[in-house]
C-alpha cells in the first residue's frame, strides 16, 4: 500500500481526493496548509504529494521548496486555470506535474499511478550500472546522488531522471518527445518547451558555463545528448 499526502485548504477537495485515492488502494494523509504537510512528510513514509498552490500560513510554492530540501518524493500541484505563472514557478522549484481544477478523477488517478510507479522503480536500485559518470559528473543511482567534481548537486526528481537517461546513453541524441515519453510517461502538448526548461535548469546546476555547455549538448533540429566526454 502506497502513502499519498493530500494538501489543500479546501476541505471538500481533500475529502473528494480521499475517496478517489482510497478506492485505488492508497493510504491517504491529509493536510490543510504547507506547514502541516511538512510535518507529515517528516513523520511518515510518503510516496506522493498532491499539493494546492494557494493556501494560508504556507502556500504550495514555499512548501515545495522546503520539501525539496529534505525529499525527492514526487509532487503533483493542484492549480486553478488562472494560475499559469504559478504552474511554471512550481515546476521550476521542483514539482513533477500539475493537475488543473476542476480535475478529472480518471486523469488524476492516472497521473498519481505514473508518478508513484516511476518513483518506486527508481528507488528499487537496479543492479546494472548503478554508477554513471561523464567527466566531472557522477551519478549514483543506488544512493540517488549526483556530484560535480566531488561536490553534491541538488536535483529535482525530473531533472535526475533526464540526466540519468542521457548519461546511460552517452553520445546518443534524444528528441524532446523521446525524453518526455521516457521521463513523464506521456506525450501531451508543449513537450519541447517543458523539456527545454528542465535542460536549462540542469545546465545551470552542472555546467561551468551554461551558455557554452560541455556536457549537455543540443543537436539543432534533433534534440539533446550527453557528450561522450570520456572519449574526447
Domain identity same for 179 and 224: yes
Q: Residue 12 has which C-alpha cell?
A: 471538500
pLDDT in tens, 141-200: 878 899 999 999 999 999 999 999 999 888 999 999 899 988 887 655 667 788 999 999
Q: Quick check: bond before 102 cis, omega within 30?
A: yes
Distance from C-alpha of 232 to C-alpha of 229, rounded to nearest angstrom = 5
Q: Residue 139 has which C-alpha cell?
A: 551519478
Q: Residue 100 has which C-alpha cell?
A: 488543473
**pTM exceeding the 0.75 threshold for the entire prediction:** no
Domain identity same for 117 and 143: no
Q: For residue 141, what pLDDT is reported?
A: 84
Domain boundary, last residue among 92, 123, 154: 123
Distance from C-alpha of 71 to C-alpha of 63, rounded to nearest angstrom = 12
Residue span of the structural domain in which 218 resides: 131-231
Domain boundary, last residue among 123, 139, 170: 123
pLDDT lower than 50: segments of the chain? 124-128, 231-232
Q: For residue 126, what pLDDT is reported?
A: 35
Q: Residue 13 has which C-alpha cell?
A: 477537495
SS3 content of the chain, % helix, strand, coil (to 5): 45, 20, 35
Q: Residue 116 has which C-alpha cell?
A: 508513484
Domain identity same for 164 and 55: no
- Type and span of the H or E element at 62: helix 60-70
CATH number of the domain where residue 199 is located: 1.10.10.10
Domain identity same for 76 and 169: no
Q: For residue 127, what pLDDT is reported?
A: 36
Sign of CA dihedral 33, 67, 53, 12: negative
Q: Name the domain count of the chain.
A: 2
Q: For residue 231, what pLDDT is reported?
A: 45
Domain identity same for 113 and 161: no
Domain identity same for 104 and 45: yes
- Type and span of the H or E element at 217: strand 216-219
Amino acid at each position: 500500500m502506497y502513502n499519498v499526502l493530500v494538501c489543500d485548504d479546501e476541505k471538500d477537495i481533500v475529502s473528494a481526493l480521499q475517496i478517489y485515492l482510497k478506492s485505488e488502494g492508497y493510504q491517504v494523509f491529509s493536510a490543510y496548509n504547507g506547514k502541516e504537510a511538512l510535518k507529515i512528510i517528516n513523520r511518515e513514509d510518503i510516496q506522493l504529494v498532491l499539493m494546492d498552490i494557494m493556501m494560508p500560513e504556507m502556500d504550495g510554492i514555499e512548501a515545495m521548496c522546503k520539501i525539496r530540501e529534505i525529499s525527492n518524493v514526487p509532487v503533483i500541484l493542484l492549480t486553478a486555470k488562472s494560475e499559469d505563472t504559478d504552474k511554471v514557478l512550481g515546476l521550476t522549484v521542483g514539482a513533477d506535474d500539475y493537475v488543473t481544477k476542476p480535475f478529472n478523477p480518471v486523469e488524476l488517478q492516472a497521473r498519481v499511478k505514473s508518478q508513484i510507479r516511476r518513483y518506486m522503480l527508481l528507488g528499487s536500485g537496479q543492479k546494472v550500472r548503478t554508477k554513471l559518470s561523464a567527466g566531472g559528473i557522477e551519478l549514483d543511482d543506488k544512493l540517488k546522488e549526483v556530484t560535480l567534481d566531488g561536490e553534491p548537486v541538488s536535483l529535482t526528481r525530473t531533472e535526475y531522471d533526464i540526466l540519468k537517461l542521457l548519461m546511460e546513453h552517452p553520445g546518443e541524441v534524444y528528441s524532446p518527445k523521446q525524453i518526455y515519453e521516457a521521463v513523464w510517461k506521456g506525450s501531451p502538448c508543449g513537450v519541447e518547451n517543458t523539456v527545454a526548461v528542465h535542460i536549462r535548469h540542469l545546465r545551470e546546476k552542472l555546467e561551468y558555463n551554461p551558455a557554452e555547455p560541455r556536457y549537455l549538448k543540443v543537436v539543432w533540429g534533433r534534440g539533446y545528448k550527453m557528450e561522450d566526454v570520456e572519449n574526447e
